Amino acid sequence: MPHFYSRILFLLALVLMVGCSKSPPDSASSSSAKEKIEQSESRFVVFSPAIGVMLRDLGFEDSIVGKHAYDTALSDSIAVVGSHIDIDYEMLITLSPSDVFFERNSVAIPERVRALAAEHDWQIWTYELKTLDDIATTIDDLYLKLVGFNEKQVDDDNILDFDIDPTIKFDVELPSARLARSWSPIGRAASGAGRTLILASVDPPGAMGPGSFHAQLIGRLGIEEAIVDGGMWQELDFEDMIDLAPDSILVFMPSNPGSDDLIGEPEPRSWAQIQAKVGEIASLPIPAVENQRIAIIEHPLGLLPSSSLGQVADEIALAVRNWHEQARSAP
């Protein structure tokens, strides 16, 4: 009997702790967010293409009713609600969301959105996506709050007979683990790539420098960056590229989005096709051209700070390994 009462007291204490643990909407707390999602139909409006992809990858695309104006990944049937700086408030109110997602950047969330959220009981979620670690942390946080861990019930016939196992999380692979595998060193092929320049445009050449998540990505793969100082975005001219003398170049040219683009490995391009894509860069007297080490990264979401960077890393690794094999087979 004393043991029975101790279980009752434990339950009461647990209920009180859960009831007192809610945080304000901006914090997107696990308790309040998950409770809201479980108790009502989830209707997500996502003012971030990157977060939209994460929600899709976690299996929540059917819950998304509104998307960013520049979103190219989500279904065309989802309504467009604008961007941070140009919100279609009539559409936003009509969609009646349960949750609104923003990417934290230099533009603050409009006060009208905050007022509407307070009036209609919308949950506001905000995430920063400046680094690879931000991306991994965000998708794990979304997973934990939207999917979570199942509690282990010992006896279905007795609701008091249950265990809350704090180690259960170690039996579940978080989404970041899958990203980490793609963001791991690729070995000898990476060192063979030499100093690698990352371009997001070719006319004029636009480079992604130190601090950018693309530079961080090739660094995690074990590839040396050609640009070691300056800003995250640097516009170059051809003289700059000659001075840099990169041993290899990765050029990000996202293909048109579509379901078929994400299936299988990209078709290898001939050197003539690469020359046509990069224009005058292919005539510069630099090692990357002399050794034909320029690769076009075509993933349709290759420039997005999202879970899609796992597939982007795989595409980069494939290109670098192809260079390595070509070097080994050269006479």
Which DSSP symbol is given to 46? E
pLDDT computed for residue 165 by the predictor = 53
Find the mean pLDDT for residues 22-36: 43
pLDDT computed for residue 28 by the predictor = 41
CATH fold match for the domains 22-149 and 184-329: yes
Answer yes or no: are the C-beta atoms of 251 and 257 closer than 8 Å: no
Answer yes or no: are the C-beta atoms of 83 and 110 closer than 8 Å: no
Find the mean pLDDT for residues 125-137: 96
22-149, CATH topology level: Rossmann fold (3.40.50)
Asked if the 184-329 domain carries CATH number 3.40.50.1980, the reply is yes
Q: How far apart are CA 309 and CA 291, in angstroms?
A: 27
Greater confidence (297 vs 257) lies with 297
Greater confidence (29 vs 117) lies with 117
Binned at pLDDT 50, 70 and 90, residue 152 comes out as: very low
One-letter amino acid for residue 22 of the chain: K
pLDDT at 32 over 80: no
pLDDT at 163 over 60: no
Give the alpha-carbon dihedral of 192, 193, 194, 200, to 10 degrees.
-170
pLDDT computed for residue 258 by the predictor = 59
Q: How far apart are CA 233 and CA 303, in angstroms?
A: 13
Residue-range domain boundaries for the chain: 22-149, 184-329
The secondary structure of 55-113 as a DSSP string is HHHTT-GGGEEEE-TT--SS-TTSEE-EETTEE-HHHHHHH--SEEEEEESSSPPPHHH
